[in-house]
């Protein structure tokens, strides 16, 4: 991305370390903060967040976790804010549409993938890491429940390293919508779409890269010709991944509970993941932690190879 105009504004504060890295053309990786406030339970949330930051730094890049604090979008946060986000149950969930409102009302917010993409694009960051993107929910033909992540990916020229789309979604419809939005998916050492906790699903990917250099080159060329966002799919580590048949059973049970309790909208994804975690005896939690850290490290390696 063009970083010659990286500036602070009254509503966005870019951490000094991130600002210096961007101006010096050094690698930076953006991170969402919703997993910290609304995804993982304590103390796993803070432990995982710190492990992600460390993994990025070890690979020679600068981490830039995004959040809203007292009406100000922060791109890069310190440990005190990390603790605040991970220990305050009333933190708002900040998608792209919420950023301006939360800022105007001087509230706090933990950014989703969509919210992070908008803030990272404004800061001039070209690479982001997360667990899995949102997408088209099951039954969306009647509920119209489609994640804002898809629209943000289409409009923000940022490559997102993740373990595919969350397995609770309608993956086929999610792929169709990404194609419609012009967002390419590229498998990293895989020909099939990962399903978050599942290493591979039945859905084939058209494009694949096998090395860090290939990944960096694909991202750089896609951006150079004016492409929007891109999804780089990195399967969940094999020793932490879950069997697809069991996960489908747990997911179906979780959806039944959600319908019975009237859970929808922003609350649906964290509710489903929490229930599936309970049904799996904590195995999904361990998989989630592992893929978050692995994706952060991979994103940092790609950024260090030149995809910035």
Q: What is the DSSP letter of 194?
A: -
| 48-53 long-range contacts, CB within 8 A, separation 24+ | 48/288, 48/289, 48/292, 48/293, 49/82, 49/86, 50/79, 50/82, 51/289, 51/292, 51/293, 52/129, 52/292, 52/293, 52/296, 53/296
DSSP-assigned beta bridge partners for residue 12? 9, 73
Q: Is residue 247 part of a domain?
A: yes
Contact criterion met (CB below 8 Å) for 215 and 186 = yes
- Would you say residue 3 has pLDDT above 70? no
Q: Is residue 215 part of a domain?
A: yes
What does the pLDDT look like over 132-178, one tens digit per residue? Answer: 999 998 888 888 889 999 999 999 999 999 999 988 899 999 999 99
Q: What is the DSSP letter of 5?
A: T
Backbone angles phi, psi at 245, to 5 degrees: -65, -45
> Pairing state of beta strands 62-69 and 207-209?
unpaired
Give the pTM: 0.91
Q: Among residues 47, 57, 107, 166, which one is catalytic? A: 166
What average pLDDT does range 261-267 have in this prediction?
A: 82
**What is the count of structural domains for the chain?**
1
Q: Given this model, what pLDDT does residue 5 score? A: 46
What average pLDDT does range 83-105 have in this prediction?
A: 95
4 pLDDT band (50/70/90 cuts)? very low
Q: Is residue 63 part of a domain?
A: yes
Q: Give catalytic status of residue 32 as yes or no.
A: yes
Q: Give catalytic status of residue 166 as yes or no.
A: yes
Q: Is residue 134 part of a domain?
A: yes
Q: Is residue 1 part of a domain?
A: no
Q: Is residue 72 part of a domain?
A: yes
Q: Is residue 192 part of a domain?
A: yes
> Which comes out higher in pLDDT, residue 268 or 111?
111
Give me the CATH number covering residue 174.
3.40.1790.10
Q: Among residues 32, 59, 93, 289, which one is catalytic? A: 32
292/302 Cα distance (integer angstroms): 16
What does the pLDDT look like over 203-224, one tens digit per residue? Answer: 999 999 999 999 999 999 999 9
Query: Phi/psi zone of residue 144: left (φ > 0), alpha (ψ -120 to 50 degrees), beta?
Result: left
Domain housing 78: 12-304
Contact residues for 151 (Cβ-Cβ < 8 A; gap 6+): 96, 114, 181
Contact residues for 65 (Cβ-Cβ < 8 A; gap 6+): 30, 31, 32, 33, 36, 49, 53, 76, 77, 82
Q: Is residue 5 part of a domain?
A: no
């Amino acid at each position: 991305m063009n970083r010659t105009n990286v500036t602070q504004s009254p509503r966005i504060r870019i951490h000094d370390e991130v600002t210096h890295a961007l101006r010096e053309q050094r690698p930076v990786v953006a991170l969402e903060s919703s997993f910290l406030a609304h995804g993982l339970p304590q103390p796993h949330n803070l432990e995982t967040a710190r492990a992600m930051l460390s993994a990025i730094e070890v690979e020679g890049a600068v981490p830039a976790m995004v959040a809203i604090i007292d009406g100000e979008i922060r791109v890069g946060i310190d440990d005190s804010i990390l603790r605040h986000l991970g220990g305050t149950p009333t933190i708002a969930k900040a998608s792209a549409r919420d950023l301006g409102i939360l800022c105007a009302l001087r509230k706090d917010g933990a950014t989703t993938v969509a919210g992070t993409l908008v803030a990272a694009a404004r800061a001039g960051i070209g690479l982001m890491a997360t667990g899995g993107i949102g997408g088209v929910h099951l039954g969306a033909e009647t509920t119209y429940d489609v994640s804002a992540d898809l629209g943000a990916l289409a409009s923000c020229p940022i490559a997102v390293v993740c373990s595919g789309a969350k397995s609770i979604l309608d993956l086929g419809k999610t792929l169709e919508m990404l194609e419609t939005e012009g967002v390419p998916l590229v498998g990293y050492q895989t020909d099939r779409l990962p399903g978050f906790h599942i290493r591979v699903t039945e859905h084939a990917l058209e494009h694949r890269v096998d090395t860090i250099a290939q990944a960096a080159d694909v991202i750089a060329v896609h951006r150079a010709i004016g492409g929007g966002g891109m999804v780089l799919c990195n399967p969940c580590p094999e020793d932490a991944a879950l069997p697809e048949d069991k996960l489908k059973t747990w997911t179906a049970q979780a959806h039944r509970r959600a319908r019975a309790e009237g859970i929808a909208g922003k609350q649906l994804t964290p509710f489903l993941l929490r229930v599936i975690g309970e049904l799996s005896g904590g195995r999904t939690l361990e998989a989630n932690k592992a893929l978050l850290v692995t994706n952060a490290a991979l994103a940092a390696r790609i950024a260090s190879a030149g995809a910035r």
